[in-house]
Structure 1
Amino acid sequence: MQRGGPKAAEAMKHLEAGEKALKTSMFKWTPEYDIAAGEFEKAGLNFKIAKDYKNAVHAYRRAAECHAHPKCSSTPFHAGKALESAASCAKDMKDPKLSIELIKESAQNYRLTGKNLSACSVLEKAAQQCEQQKDFTDAMELYKDIVELFEEEGKQRQSKRPLERAIACAVKAQDYQAASQLLERQSKLLLETATIAFAYQSGLSQVVVALHTGDFVKADRVFNTCASELNGFGSSEEGRLASQLLEAFESGDGLELDSIKSNTIFKFLIPEVSSLARGLKMDATMAVERAPAQEDQARSALFAPAPAKQQTDEAAKEKAADETNSSSTTAPPTTDAPPPYTETDAHVEAATDEMSKAALAQQADTGHAAPSYEEANQDTMAKAAKEGGDAATDADAGAPPAQQNEQEDDDDEEEGGDEDDDIL
């Protein structure tokens, strides 16, 4: 640590007193964070006056640590103030990277205590330092954080300026996708908080950014979206200028494009977007190419209607196919027809009825149940078999003697034939 001058010596005394307040001993069991924080802040101020910025940054950071400690009666807001002072000393020390880091820590402490406006103030300082260092991406992110903080506080009108700076940083960083998103966000914000003429300028800026990237389709879609969401955009000066730009790119007319770029309306846009508009060029990759006339005729011939005769033949074929399908789908399933009712069936039914009547009459006379149909049928079959056997026996017994002799002669002849065969 450097020592020189009365202020530097005084700063060293305060710094030593702060470190002593944090120490414990036999009779001092708890560090005194409040006393230490005050001593460190005094040391930082004296170091800054003595232009000893390095020691000043160290002293202020020690003060912020004490303020942020849970046992300290201070709040994170006081820690943020100490870090903001340290960031100022780092900037004077020509260390922008350290300064931006300290500012971000300070803003975080402010947000912990609900001091969003104080956080916006320090973040804007950090964003400006990033722009000076040509770090446009970090600057864009910081400006976006500022816009979100203003929206949380319900101060949308105050977010217009940081949103414009975020768009400018996105264009400088050549992040055109982020620029398009921010311009769309700006259009909605201006539609709510400002006159609609400013929203028209935002819509024209979106078309310019899309054309600069060579995306004609996106530019046309953006124009249609603005025409539907922004009332009167198509008939406004900005809307007509955007339409002329699209027509020039569609036709590939470079002279018309040069004439459009000289319009004074572009001067009212964000300076970085205005520079993009003046730098639009009709490159081969950006111009919209039309198909040749012969190719258009060939494509139209593909979709030309067929001749009348061919259409008639096709219609007849389709009709025949429909009839075939309908007949195949509506035909009922084939089933076997029942056998015809014959005369034999009539006799069987009549006999069955007579048997049933006889059985009922027998039951009424005797008081006993008549046999069932199956039992009666079995008895009938047994009787028929018995009668058939008796008839066969009687037929054999009653045959005439002549027939019996003929049978015996036939048997003798068969036996004689067998004997002759044996002799041979």
Structure 2
Amino acid sequence: MSAAKKVAEAEELVRQAEKSLKTSLLKWVPDYDSAADEYSKAATAFRIAKNFDKSKVYQLKAIECYKNNKSWFHAAKCYEQIVLLSKDTDKLLEIEEYVNKACSLYQQHGSPEAAASALDKAAKLTEQKHPEMALRFYQHAIEVIMIDDSIRQATEYSSKVSRILVKLRRYDEAAKAILKEMDLYQQTESYGQIGRLVVALVLVQLARGDSVEAEKAFKEWGSCCEPEEVSTLQTLLNAFDEEDAEMASRMLATPFIRHMDVEYAILAKNIPLPEGMQLEKKSEDNAGIATNEDEDEGIC
């Protein structure tokens, strides 16, 4: 169907909606339910016709009608459609306002899962260009879903919080987020997942420049790790303790670390190596230079 036909269809739906809202001697109360549905359909038709401004206008009118009818769930759905319009028009910064309104209405309806899902979808739309906004959405989603004690869903959102914090290099917060994530996995007895997070936590602590906290994390949680993880972490921590940059570099490049979630794999590449060996080498080089200079002076 052409854009012109979709616009004509939308305009007819708007006329029907306005007619539904009119009152008369025999009709004392506006038919908000019918008007809301017609406005919503009109908004969809305008969106298909690429008339995004009018689509938003009529989604907002639909929301107003649904609210008058106390149809909180349907009003929230319309706010989600406006979120998609913000994506279509590349106005991602507007998403936060509308997804928070959708979330609030879903909660008012008694649907925390739908509220958290709306936040999750908004986070996926914004994570690439606005990771800090996506972070807020995932943090809010955890708060919402925990009201319903949905631990497994909370761990999924918590994982995304930890990874975004690592991506943003907010390592102090990332370490705390990983510990919270581990606590959630403890509640579901998912010890294999905890083992992988022990590796992540050690990497984050090393990125913070705190090898003492890294070793402490391993001692406290290392029993959840697989043998390969234990061996690698032990060698890695010994390398930092002995300031062996070459060994530390080899451990950070092991296959299972390279194949972790991309944020942790990138983090491993960027961890500052211990400087002991490098400093020792520089001292030796400098001593060699000094010896050569002395020899040269003697020849003269």
Determine if the TM-score, normalized by the shorter chain, exceeds 0.5: yes
The answer to whether the 8 Å contact 2:165/2:173 transfers is: yes
**TM value normalised by structure 1:** 0.58
The answer to whether the 8 Å contact 1:15/1:43 transfers is: yes
Q: Which has the higher helix share?
A: 2
Give the whole-Å Cα distance in 1 for the aligned partners of 2:42 and 2:190: 52
Question: 5+ unaligned residues in a row in structure 2: which ranges?
Answer: 279-300
Q: Which residue of 2 aligns with 1:41?
A: 40
Q: Secondary structure at the match of 1:154?
A: coil
Q: Deviations over 1:61-111 (max 9, x none)?
A: 111111112xx2x42111011222222233223322234432332122111
Q: Which residue of 2 aligns with 1:274?
A: 265
Is 1:115 the counterpart of 2:106 in the alignment?
Answer: no
Change (3 A) 1:55 1:235: closer
* Structure 1 residues 6-405: aligned runs within 5 Å: 6-19=5-18, 21-22=20-21, 30-69=29-68, 72=69, 74-133=70-129, 135-227=130-222, 232-233=223-224, 236-282=227-273, 284=275
Amino acid in the other structure paired with 1:112: Q
Q: Secondary structure at the match of 2:271?
A: coil
- Number of residue-to-residue matches in the alignment: 275
The answer to whether the 8 Å contact 1:234/1:240 transfers is: no
Give the whole-Å Cα distance in 2 for the aligned partners of 1:238 and 1:191: 19
Change (3 A) 1:149 1:267: farther
Amino acid in the other structure paired with 1:124: D
The CA deviation at 1:16 is 4.1
The answer to whether the 8 Å contact 1:167/1:179 transfers is: yes
Q: Which residue of 1 aligns with 2:290?
A: none
The answer to whether the 8 Å contact 2:245/2:274 transfers is: no
- Percentage identity across aligned positions? 27
The answer to whether the 8 Å contact 2:192/2:225 transfers is: no
Give the whole-Å Cα distance in 1 for the aligned partners of 2:128 and 2:206: 29
Q: Deviations over 1:109-129 (max 9, x none)?
A: 111111122222221211011
Q: Deviations over 1:19-38 (max 9, x none)?
A: 45556678876544334323
Give the whole-Å Cα distance in 2 for the aligned partners of 1:104 and 1:149: 11
The CA deviation at 1:56 is 0.8
Q: Which residue of 2 aligns with 1:5?
A: 4
**TM value normalised by structure 2:** 0.79
* RMSD over aligned Cα atoms: 2.8
The CA deviation at 1:184 is 0.6
Q: Deviations over 1:309-338 (max 9, x none)?
A: xxxxxxxxxxxxxxxxxxxxxxxxxxxxxx
Change (3 A) 1:235 1:111: closer
The CA deviation at 1:257 is 1.1
Change (3 A) 1:238 1:29: same
Give the whole-Å Cα distance in 1 for the aligned partners of 2:143 and 2:72: 21
Say which structure, 1 or 2, has more relative contact order (CA 8 Å, 6+ apart): 2
Change (3 A) 1:20 1:189: same
Amino acid in the other structure paired with 2:218: F
The CA deviation at 1:202 is 0.9
Amino acid in the other structure paired with 2:165: A
Give the whole-Å Cα distance in 2 for the aligned partners of 1:207 and 1:46: 52
